[in-house]
Structure 1
């Protein structure tokens, strides 16, 4: 597949190509070119040329075009889900959910098109009033990771396009295919050429060139904290706007007054969805010791029943890890956790009967050391450490020991305990008695080393617009 620039797929003969691997079979699905400076510059220049016309397009019309794009993507949803499964590895049912989530987010922001507005301030002075003007930034770089290639793209694409910006997206080199197809569908639905472009390539090459390009005015990035810090530093050279959604090590607290059945279900879904490869996955579990046994009696059987298999099998509930490198990292983190005193309760290795692919069994570890890698690092795979605690205060203290602050969860029937957690947990999102689902209506972004800025909600629009003051004297 080729890069999508200026409203069409563009071939670049002679460029090195990168294989897209099916994580379940280790077979090559397709190849894509590795962009260099020339290809990134071409995409940015096309976006820059398209910007004035897209900005001048009435906001309501921009919304209509995005709604037409939603319908075009929806008509091809099954094809896109299969492509997503092939390149990412997740089960088809999860891929279908992801495509639906992409559609929901784009539809949400398309629906806000008629509500974009500035402000009016009367009587600033005699015969004088003030205006608060909103204008788009220009070319936006959207850099997206491999775990949720389409939904994390939508978080950037929706608010960027509806406010009048143009976009150059760089998907992860391992998961570019669905994004490229979506870009073509958007164009078929009426999006003008150059408004949405996709370049393929490696982060240290294509990504850095894109971030540094002088015509790029905003960088929206989702990925690891170390890479986010690098992007923030590069963007600072051009005083560019940034939003960064970075790593997480989300805690979940189960109190002794919780609905244990609901908590067990939420913990299983929250940890093992997408093979645990989610920024907002439940990555640390703190259970009140007086309900620990009762909770685990409900939780462990749920985990044991998970059916592992290739994503294209309709029976599969959990697919493989995305790469062999990712599996080796999980194994190293688990080994460190067990050496620190943790006790293996479930899983712990590569499953039998799945010789091909990067599969790893759902794993639960009781009380690894609080300074172990399982406690300190982001664990991006199906391994869940569990600790027993005596009180909510202890649980919150342990939860906040992490350098991350993305999401958090508490299960309790007490309004007092819920309020305490909502106020004290150092995280940008806290769920009470709920699975960790993101809503487009609410702002989302991390604290501490989990990021900067907000996606989702009306708040996201502010990160894609300049605010300008105007003063008008009429007499």
Structure 2
């Protein structure tokens, strides 16, 4: 389904300079579905040169003109949502309905930033004397190097591309090798809507070559990454040598607190539905469930019943709600976490096995674990998998301390009918985003990002464009 297999550099699709390629697999069948170009240093130099040249003109393009083009890209993506969604499903395994919805969410990013580009407001500062004028203007930071993850292969690149382009920057983006087709499709939409050559460039291949080469290049002035904490730390070290502006959206381990006054049955259903979305491979996924002891049985019953009712299978099949995991290493990690939790006293409330008839592909049943010990591996390391660990609490201060005990701080969730508890917990959770009786946080108009080792900077919303701008202060004496 990938229509463009090559590199997109300076407005043209091309093969790698040495002809090397990389295979893309369908995680539902384990079969090769495409080969993509593997960029060389020569290709990266071409992308850097193209982005540098294009930036000179794009930064001076009228915000109204940039706005028109970005909005047109959004509409082009929406018109192709079914095709892009099918590509995404074949590459990631996620249900087709989810893939199409993600594609439309990617279009929302372009629409949102088509509006924000016209609202890059400066500031006027009153001088101390009548003959002094002081002002602050915002200017695009320059060439951007962006790196995206495979779990949301259209939305994650769109957040970076749309914000960078709206700010007046050019961008070189590397999609994840497991699922590059959606990012190629975004570039194709940009091309078809007349985004000037070199403003958007897409390179694929070996991360071990591409990431250091782009980040260390003096041409690149801004780096944006969605990925793991370990990779983020490596990129930060490299960016520090060049004192480059950085946005990091890294891993999480989202705590969920269900207080005694919360609707435990409704919470259990909502948590299960959200936890197993995209087979649990979501950075803001609710992934540690702290339930008041008095509500534990009700919550677990609703959670397990919902999990058991989810239809598992290849994402292309009608009605499937849970597809395969994206790769074998993730599947193996999920099994290790289940075994470790059980060895430490947890009970399997549902799932935990390979689904019947789905021995081929990276499938595992949505798994619910009860009475999980705080020292279990799954309570301390991000479970990027359809495995949900549930434990209990009785004291407010204790559960907040346990929720904040990890170095992660991306998202947290609270279920309560008390306005007082809702505000207290929202204030006390050390995260960048909080959902109160609500699980779906990501939307184009809101800032997305975390604190502590979950990252820095924000993507989306009115704040997102500022990570691609630099303020310049001007003082003038008349």
TM over 0.5: yes
CA deviations 1:49-97 (Å, max 9, x no partner) are 1001101100111010001111111111111000011111101011011
Secondary structure of the 1:228 match is helix
1:310 shift after superposition: 0.3
Give the distance between the partners of 1:73 and 1:407, measured in 2 at CA.
29
CA deviations 1:346-391 (Å, max 9, x no partner) are 1112112102110011001112321221111000000010001113
Give the distance between the partners of 1:214 and 1:335, measured in 2 at CA.
47
Counterpart selection for 2:374 from 351, 370, 382: 370
* Runs of 4 or more consecutive aligned structure 1 residues displaced over 3 Å after TM superposition: none
User: Which residue in 2 is equivalent to 1:11?
Assistant: 15
Secondary structure of the 2:276 match is helix
Structure 1: gaps (5+ residues): none
Counterpart selection for 2:354 from 350, 357, 360: 350
User: Which residue in 2 is equivalent to 1:79?
Assistant: 83
Secondary structure of the 2:300 match is helix
- Pair 1:94 & 2:98 matched: yes
1:447 shift after superposition: 1.2
Counterpart selection for 1:259 from 255, 259, 263: 263
CA deviations 1:283-316 (Å, max 9, x no partner) are 1001111111122222211110010000111221
- Kept in 1, the 8 Å contact 2:73–2:107? The answer is no
Structure 2: gaps (5+ residues): none
1:13 shift after superposition: 5.2
Counterpart selection for 1:47 from 38, 45, 51: 51
* Count of residue correspondences: 474
* Superposed counterparts of 1:154-165, under 5 Å: 154-165=158-169
CA deviations 1:408-427 (Å, max 9, x no partner) are 00000001111110111111
Taking structure 1 as reference, are residues 367 and 36 closer, same or farther at Cα in structure 2, changes over 3 Å only?
farther
1:145 shift after superposition: 0.5
Give the distance between the partners of 1:182 and 1:468, measured in 2 at CA.
32
User: Which residue in 2 is equivalent to 1:466?
Assistant: 470
Question: After alignment, is 112-121 or 408-417 more displaced?
Answer: 112-121
Give the distance between the partners of 1:331 and 1:298, measured in 2 at CA.
23
Secondary structure of the 1:112 match is helix
User: Which residue in 2 is equivalent to 1:197?
Assistant: 201
Counterpart selection for 2:438 from 411, 415, 434: 434
Give the distance between the partners of 1:447 and 1:77, measured in 2 at CA.
33
Give the distance between the partners of 2:185 and 2:101, measured in 1 at CA.
17
Taking structure 1 as reference, are residues 312 and 446 closer, same or farther at Cα in structure 2, changes over 3 Å only?
same
- Pair 1:123 & 2:133 matched: no
Give the distance between the partners of 1:259 and 1:369, measured in 2 at CA.
24
1:8 shift after superposition: 1.4
Q: CA RMSD in A?
A: 1.2
Counterpart selection for 1:311 from 308, 312, 315: 315
Counterpart selection for 2:41 from 34, 37, 44: 37
